[in-house]
């Protein structure tokens, strides 16, 4: 997957630049409206012919930050292997609009998208744009290649970003807030994709709860799904790096209904997924609900959600932590017909807090005697006593499920289990037991779940790899600073 990252970035960023033109556009236009500079800017009413006819590969259109109303920006033209095309929003001091803002009239799928890359539109960079109140903030239609979506914000939409059949895609520094279904959606046929430093907040209110924000079934921050039709091609080779998602909650009118809401979710027909230094918290259901194949989690956090990591297929985890969940920290659901070896975890911590009602590891289904998870140098812990939980730390939906987890007993790589860990005198002697844990907001607690008993030899450790916490704090602080008005 590291090779994928390098290949995509090189292919996107090192194409030779042919002689290129720069054009300028504002809401009303200016001067002779030739587009040659700001003093003679094109009017936005000419956006379609300028983008799709006037511009050539290598050209850039600078668009003034302003309110562009309910117009749909449709891109049909394409750059090429040698020269990309660019649309870049510019802050020119228009009050309230540091970037071009596209304001739809209806938050419904029938209303379409504010920004659409039509079928085949490729080799584009879209940067510093803003989209409100549509079915999609930004959408690709299909057969799109080598797009860079940079610093684009969506707000008050059904889906923030929808990518359909989009290959060699880079999405970076983007934000989706106040969506009713999905923040970032890879629908189907998306290959070689990098999503980096992106933020999804379903209610768009940060730390402030918003019970009045009505959501449809199963809101998800980052959703990878083949969309309609189970036979659509897979999404493959996906890297999600340094991303944050939160507040994905479904509200139903009937008390006692099963309410959904996941941070990261991959349905079946997704293959080769890597999540690196990602944070998911304050979700109604799973922080990660993963049904893909060949799934890798490195330095990821699942916190303060209904359940932590829900693994339905094969996965490996390294230096990850699940804590503060209301239910299970890890769920192995698997397939009845072949539930063999679902999870391999190394140097991870699965911790049930004082408010937890589930197990550290729960096996939903399987066959007795089959190893479904191997835990190497991990910590399986609970804050209270076994008597208070009235259940085992490893359990399942069938008798004997605990025997399907290999803790590598009697080996140097054993994964020990401990109760009563809220008492810091007890092993593994967490550095500073904190509930609820918010290391991104309180950096002094970043090492709270490091083990004093074992150091780096067992469980998650905050300094095993370069810490993501300062970056997370910056991502969340930036989102808070630039929170869009709730319109």
Cα 275 to chain center, whole Å?
9
Q: Rounded mean pLDDT of 317-341? A: 88
Across the chain, what does the average pLDDT equal?
91
- For residues 115 and 132, what is the distance between their CA atoms, to the nearest angstrom? 10
Q: Is the pLDDT of residue 15 over 80?
A: no
**pLDDT by residue (tens digit) across 172-190?**
999 999 999 999 999 999 9
User: Does position 230 have pLDDT exceeding 90, yes or no?
Assistant: no
In angstroms, rounded to a whole number, what is the distance separating the alpha carbons of residues 356 and 322?
12
Q: Is 352 in contact with 391 (CB distance < 8 Å)?
A: no
DSSP letter at 30 equals -
Mean pLDDT of the 444-451 span: 95
pLDDT for the residue 16: 46
- Residue 244 structural domain: 1-20+57-252+259-299+468-487
- Confidence band (pLDDT; 50, 70, 90) for 397? confident
Structure tokens given for 439: 């290391």
Q: How many domains does the chain have?
A: 1
pLDDT at res. 467: 74
Q: How many CB atoms lie within 10 A of CB 415?
A: 25
115-119, 370-374, 395-399: which is most confident: 115-119
**8, pLDDT greater than 80:** no
| Residue 225, C-beta contacts closer than 8 angstroms, at least 6 positions apart | 185, 186, 187, 188, 265, 266, 267, 269, 270
Band (pLDDT 50/70/90 cuts) for residue 463 is very high
361 occurs within a structural domain: no
Q: Is the pLDDT of residue 406 over 60?
A: yes
The pairing of beta strand 85-90 with beta strand 124-132: parallel
Distance of CA 137 to the CA centre of its chain: 16
Which whole number is the average pLDDT over 137-161? 97
Return the pLDDT at 10: 44
Where does residue 84 rank: exposed (0-12), middle (13-18), buried (19+ CB within 10 A)? Answer: buried
Burial class (CB in 10 A: 0-12, 13-18, 19+), 409: exposed
Q: Distance (Å, rounded) from C-alpha 175 to C-alpha 200?
A: 6
Tokens 């649309």 label which residue?
87
Helices H / strands E in the chain, number of each: 4, 37
Q: Are 211 and 184 in contact (CB under 8 A)?
A: no
Is 84 domain-assigned? Answer: yes
What is the pLDDT at residue 6?
46
The answer to whether 291 and 284 have CB atoms below 8 angstroms apart is no
Query: What is the CATH number for 115?
Result: 2.160.20.10
How crowded is the C-beta side of 367, counted as CA atoms within 13 Å?
Answer: 8
Write the DSSP assignment of 150-207 as a string of letters. Answer: EEEEEEEEEEEEEEESEESEEEES-EEEEEEEEEEEEEES-EEEEEES-EEESSS-TT
Q: Tell how far CA 404 is from the center of its chain.
A: 31
Residue 79 lies in a domain: yes
Measured between alpha carbons, how far is 141 from 145 in angstroms, rounded to an integer? 11
Mean local confidence (pLDDT), 234-249: 96
Looking at the domain assignment, is residue 219 inside a domain? yes
Q: Degrees (nearest 5) of the Cα angle 291, 107, 248?
A: 35
Q: What pLDDT band is residue 9 in, cutting at 50, 70 and 90?
A: low
Does the structure show a pLDDT above 70 at 2?
Answer: no
In a domain, 204, yes or no: yes
| Closest C-alpha to 160, from 196, 204, 192, 193 | 204
Q: Are 340 and 371 in contact (CB under 8 A)?
A: yes
Average pLDDT over residues 350-376: 91
Which of 425, 330, 332 has the alpha carbon at shortest distance from 380? 330
- Per-residue model confidence as pLDDT tens digits over 151-174: 999 999 999 999 999 999 999 999
pLDDT band at 131 (very low <50, low <70, confident <90, very high): very high
Residue 49, pLDDT above cutoff 50? yes
Beta pairing class for 321-323 and 124-132: unpaired
Cα(11)–Cα(397) distance, integer angstroms:
48
Name which of 121, 127, 199 is nearest 160 in CA terms.
199
∠ Cα 396 397 398 (to 5°) = 90
Cβ atoms of 334 and 315 closer than 8 Å: no
List, in order, residues 6 or more apart from 241 with CB less than 8 Å away: 5, 194, 195, 196, 197, 274, 275, 276, 277, 278
Question: Helix or strand or coil: residue 148?
Answer: strand
What the block records as the tokens of 438 is 């918010």
Q: Which of 33-47, 210-224, 434-448 has the lowest mean pLDDT?
A: 210-224
Q: Find the Cα–Cα–Cα–Cα dihedral 389, 391, 395, 399, rounded to 10°.
A: -160
The pLDDT score that the predictor gives to residue 292 is 94
Distance of CA 258 to the CA centre of its chain: 23
Query: How far apart are the C-alpha atoms of 385 and 420, rounded to whole Å?
Result: 5
Q: Does any domain span residue 264?
A: yes
Instruction: Judge whether 233 lies within some domain.
Output: yes
Whether residue 313 lies inside any domain: the answer is no
Q: Angle 133-134-138 (CA atoms, 0-180°, nearest 5)?
A: 110
CB 322 within 8 A of CB 350: yes
Average pLDDT of the segment spanning 223-244 = 88
């Amino acid at each position: 997957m590291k090779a994928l990252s390098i290949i995509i970035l090189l292919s996107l960023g090192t194409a030779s630049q042919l002689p290129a033109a720069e054009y300028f556009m504002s809401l009303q236009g200016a001067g002779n409206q030739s587009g040659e500079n700001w003093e003679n800017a094109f009017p936005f009413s000419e956006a379609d012919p300028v983008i799709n006819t006037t511009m050539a590969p290598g050209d850039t259109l600078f668009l003034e930050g302003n309110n562009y109303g309910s117009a749909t920006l449709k891109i049909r033209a394409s750059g090429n292997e040698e020269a990309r095309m660019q649309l870049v929003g510019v802050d020119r001091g228009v009050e309230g609009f540091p970037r071009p803002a596209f304001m739809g009239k209806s938050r419904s799928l029938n209303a379409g998208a504010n920004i659409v890359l039509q079928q085949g539109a490729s080799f584009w960079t879209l940067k510093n744009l803003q989209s409100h109140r549509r079915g999609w903030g930004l959408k690709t239609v299909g057969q799109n290649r080598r797009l860079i979506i940079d610093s684009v914000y969506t707000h008050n939409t059904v889906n923030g970003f929808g990518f359909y059949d989009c290959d060699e895609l880079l999405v970076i520094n983007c934000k989706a807030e106040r969506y009713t279904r999905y923040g970032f959606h890879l629908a189907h046929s998306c290959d070689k994709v990098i999503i980096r430093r992106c933020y999804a907040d379903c209610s768009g209110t940060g730390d402030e709860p918003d019970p009045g924000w009505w959501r449809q079934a199963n809101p998800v921050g980052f959703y990878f799904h083949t969309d309609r039709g189970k036979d659509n091609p897979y999404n493959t080779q996906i890297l999600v790096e340094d991303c944050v998602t939160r507040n994905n909650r479904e509200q139903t009118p009937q008390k006692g209904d099963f309410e959904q809401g996941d941070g990261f979710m991959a349905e079946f027909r997704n293959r080769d997924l890597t999540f690196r230094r990602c944070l998911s918290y304050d979700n109604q259901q799973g922080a990660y609900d993963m049904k893909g194949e060949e799934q890798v989690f490195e330095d990821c956090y699942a916190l303060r959600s209904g359940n932590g990591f829900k693994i339905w297929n094969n996965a490996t985890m390294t230096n990850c932590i699940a804590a503060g969940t209301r239910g299970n920290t890890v769920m192995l659901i698997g397939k009845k017909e072949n539930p063999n070896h679902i999870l391999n975890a190394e140097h991870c911590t699965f911790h049930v807090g004082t408010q937890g009602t589930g197990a550290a590891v729960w096996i939903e289904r399987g066959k007795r005697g089959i190893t479904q998870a191997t835990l190497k140098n991990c910590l399986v812990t609970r804050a209270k006593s076994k008597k208070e939980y009235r259940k085992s730390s490893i359990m399942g939906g069938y008798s004997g499920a605990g025997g399907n987890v290999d803790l590598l007993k009697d080996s140097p790589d054993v994964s020990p289990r401990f109760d009563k860990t809220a008492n810091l005198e007890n092993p593994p002697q967490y550095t500073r037991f904190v509930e609820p844990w918010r290391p991104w907001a309180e950096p002094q607690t970043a090492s709270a779940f490091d083990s004093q008993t074992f150091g780096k030899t067992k469980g998650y450790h905050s300094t095993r790899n370069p810490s993501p916490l300062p970056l997370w704090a910056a991502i969340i602080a930036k989102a808070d600073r630039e929170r869009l008005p709730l319109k």
